[in-house]
Chains A and B, each alone.
Chain A
Amino acid sequence: KAGVTQTPRYLIKTRGQQVTLSCSPISGHRSVSWYQQTPGQGLQFLFEYFSETQRNKGNFPGRFSGRQFSNSRSEMNVSTLELGDSALYLCATKREGTSNYGYTFGSGTRLTVV
């Protein structure tokens, strides 16, 4: 079966611009979470969406936002980019149910802000 698909793989943007990243979950996975990975801060939780609703949110400024569509695909948006937003952005999805088999991750989008 197809895995979690994140697009694009790489992105270079200029300070002040905005960017949109996409995540398509595995079929049947309705929960989508986003993480930011940097060498200094490690892996940090951004937010989680389920059934088109934000269910949980991390400690990031309002410049970071997301949404989920009816087919469970999710996008995250970062506005007014700063140099510190350069990071690997990972999407993680899982099936809701009685057992927690863990999240399946995509290969990430490497964002570079110049």
Chain B
Amino acid sequence: AQTVTQSQPEMSVQEAETVTLSCTYDTSENNYYLFWYKQPPSRQMILVIRQEAYKQQNATENRFSVNFQKAAKSFSLKISDSQLGDTAMYFCAFQETSGSRLTFGEGTQLTVNP
């Protein structure tokens, strides 16, 4: 079974600064998907960024980028120019290529301070 670990329960950053959230996972699969979701107090999980394991190029979405290290089974999220609206719980998630279920990490509560 796959496992996802987020070792930082809480993090804080000053507005406009850069922060990196860590995620490691364990799997015997070669092809899979990785995601970062954010969950603000509104409770809705919002997709931040996705990475396909067979693509070596790191995914980027505006201020959000990942550092995907397949051999190390690491998938960190970098948020540049942090904004107050980035305050949320961030979840790292794994999905097999052939599967449908998402396996989530424990989450990291990010607070952006003014």
List chain A positions with a Cβ less than 8 A from chain B. 3, 31, 33, 35, 42-43, 45, 48, 50, 55-56, 58, 88, 90, 92, 100-108, 110
Contact = CB atoms under 8 A, between A and B. Distances in A.
B101 A43 contact: no
Interface in B84-103: 91, 95, 97, 99-103
A105 B47 CA distance: 9
B104 A42 contact: yes
A88 to B, nearest CB: 6
Given A42-B106, A100-B33, A105 B100 contact: no
A56 B44 contact: no
B50 A56 contact: no
Contacts of B106: 42
Contact of A107 (B44, B95, B105): B44
A4 B100 CA distance: 18
A42 B107 contact: yes
A35 to B, nearest CB: 8
A75 to B, nearest CB: 18
Interface residues of B, number: 23
Give the interface SS of chain A, mostly helix, strand, loop or mixed.
strand
17 contacts: A33-B100, A33-B101, A42-B104, A42-B105, A42-B106, A42-B107, A43-B91, A45-B103, A48-B100, A90-B45, A92-B102, A102-B33, A102-B35, A102-B50, A104-B47, A107-B44, A110-B43
B42 interface: yes
B102 A106 contact: no
B9 to A, nearest CB: 12
A56 B45 contact: no
A3 B46 CA distance: 11
A74 B50 CA distance: 26
Contacts of A100: 33, 50, 52, 95, 97
Contact of B102 (A88, A103, A110): A103
Nearest to B95: A100
